[in-house]
């Protein structure tokens, strides 16, 4: 199992799959999964699912992993080829090693051990596109197709069992003024000054806190005035974007309403951004850019089953949570499906130059995922 996981992870890293160009890696995985005993299906957005049916009534468990990556940035900053996919000094190296091709490889190899066996329910591996650009949106097809009872997100957890994550909202602030020639600014109203006042109000807003997930976050990520560039023109509008990290129970409408209340008396408004993306398959997906937070109690059914399996395998390293957003925002946050996170590598290594994870982390995760799956599907025997 260990060598299979290493070989597969290396192969995946060697196939560039920046968001929007995942066709080659999906084709590779479609053949790999079929050869490993999965029945496969490519969904309209281009994601791939592989299913092993145990032939007995029981739950459906989905192991979710996205196969797209961010870009490599300035290649001259890398000390090895970004798509090396090699092993050096005990590390598997290359873009996507941590986020999250090693997690995908571990999921596939662990699930493949059930091929040809009789067990209750189904085990499915979902190889998801478009996550880096629009997390959760392509996973909607998986839940609509498979109706999973349980989901395991294989994003990096450093071997911990994650039971929640903060969500994310992209907030747009627009301020308004009146244009005029900049040689006579008193004839107009500068939208930038309204935006400055709006930012001050927003920065002073209190944010909620959660005992496990920590504090909510409101981070200003960009600002621009219109018209741009302002050639001797007082701007009539300004736009700012905030990255709002959310907590369980917070909604997009609720957040926008809170900010709008804080902006009372200013020529400005707040809204949730609306996003549109086109996948490599040519399908256009659109939705508000709001991705809910989620958390499950440590004594809920899935957490208990997963903890038991890891403890029996001697691999339990405690409970944790994600700091970043994952496809769990759809499964758990939108659909309420019991979801956990368990994957190789460390969160902090995602999107970095010289991205890599340890071979030991990969192989341990592979064994851990097999232990979790065994616990889930043995319990339902």
- When the pLDDT of each residue in the chain is averaged and rounded to a whole number, the result is 95
Torsion sign over Cα 72, 76, 78, 83: positive
**CATH 3.40.630.10 domain range(s) in the chain:** 2-166+293-379
Query: What's the fold here for domain 2-166+293-379?
Result: Aminopeptidase (3.40.630)
pLDDT tens per residue, range 211-230: 999 999 999 999 999 998 88
Q: Tell me, what's the pLDDT at 230?
A: 80
The mean per-residue pLDDT over the stretch 331-337 comes to 96
The mean per-residue pLDDT over the stretch 202-214 comes to 93
With a threshold of 0.85, does the pTM exceed it? yes
Q: Does the pLDDT value for residue 348 go beyond 90?
A: no
Q: Tell me, what's the pLDDT at 379?
A: 63
Strand partners, 340: 152
The mean per-residue pLDDT over the stretch 309-330 comes to 95
**CATH 3.30.70.360 domain range(s) in the chain:** 169-275
Of 53, 174, 34, 188, the C-alpha closest to 114 is 53
pLDDT tens per residue, range 357-372: 999 999 999 999 999 9
Strand 237-246 versus strand 217-226 pairing type: antiparallel
> Helix axis angle, 102-112 relative to 359-379, nearest 10°?
40
How far apart, in whole angstroms, are the C-alpha atoms of residue 363 and residue 373?
16
The mean per-residue pLDDT over the stretch 319-334 comes to 94
Which residues are identified as catalytic?
Answer: 68, 131
The residues, any chain, with a CB within 8 Å of residue 136's CB and separated by 6 or more, are 291, 325, 326, 327, 328, 329, 330, 333, 334
Query: What's the fold here for domain 169-275?
Result: Alpha-Beta Plaits (3.30.70)
The residues, any chain, with a CB within 8 Å of residue 273's CB and separated by 6 or more, are 170, 171, 172, 241, 288, 289
pLDDT tens per residue, range 76-102: 999 999 999 999 999 999 999 999 999
The mean per-residue pLDDT over the stretch 160-181 comes to 96
Q: Tell me, what's the pLDDT at 301?
A: 95
Output phi, psi for 108, to 5 deg.
-65, -45
């Amino acid at each position: 199992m260990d060598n299979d996981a290493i070989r597969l992870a290396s192969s995946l890293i060697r196939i560039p799959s920046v968001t929007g160009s995942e066709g080659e890696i999906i084709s590779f995985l479609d053949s790999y999964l079929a050869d490993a005993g999965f029945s496969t299906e490519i969904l309209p957005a281009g994601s791939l699912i592989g299913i092993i049916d145990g032939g007995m009534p029981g739950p459906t468990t989905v192991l979710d992993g996205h196969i797209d990556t961010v870009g490599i940035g300035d290649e001259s900053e890398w000390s090895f080829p970004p798509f090396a996919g090699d092993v050096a000094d005990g590390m598997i190296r290359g873009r996507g090693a941590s986020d999250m091709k090693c997690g995908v490889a571990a999921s596939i190899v662990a699930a493949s051990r059930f091929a040809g066996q009789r067990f209750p329910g189904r085990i499915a591996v979902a190889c998801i596109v478009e996550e880096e650009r629009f997390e959760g949106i392509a996973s909607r097809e998986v839940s609509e197709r498979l109706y999973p009872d349980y989901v395991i997100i294989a994003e990096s957890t450093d071997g911990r069992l994650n039971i929640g994550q903060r969500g994310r909202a992209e907030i747009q602030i627009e301020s308004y003024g009146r244009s005029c020639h900049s040689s006579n600014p008193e004839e107009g109203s500068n939208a930038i000054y309204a935006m400055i006042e709006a930012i001050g109000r927003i920065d002073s807003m209190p944010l909620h806190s959660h005992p496990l997930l920590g504090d909510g976050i409101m981070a200003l990520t960009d600002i621009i005035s219109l018209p741009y560039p302002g050639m001797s023109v007082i701007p009539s509008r300004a736009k700012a974007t905030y990255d709002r990290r959310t907590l369980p129970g917070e909604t997009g409408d609720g957040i926008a309403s809170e900010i709008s209340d804080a902006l009372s008396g200013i020529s400005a408004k707040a809204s949730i951004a609306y996003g549109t993306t086109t996948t490599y398959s040519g399908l256009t997906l659109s939705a508000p850019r709001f991705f809910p937070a989620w958390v499950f109690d440590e004594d809920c059914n899935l957490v208990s089953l997963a903890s038991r399996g890891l403890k029996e395998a001697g691999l339990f390293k405690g409970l944790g949570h994600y700091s970043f957003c994952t496809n769990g925002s759809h499964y758990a946050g939108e659909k309420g499906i019991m979801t956990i996170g368990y994957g190789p590598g460390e969160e902090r290594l995602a999107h970095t130059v010289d991205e890599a994870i340890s071979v030991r982390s990969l192989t341990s995760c592979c064994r851990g995922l097999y232990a979790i799956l065994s616990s889930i599907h043995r319990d339902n025997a």
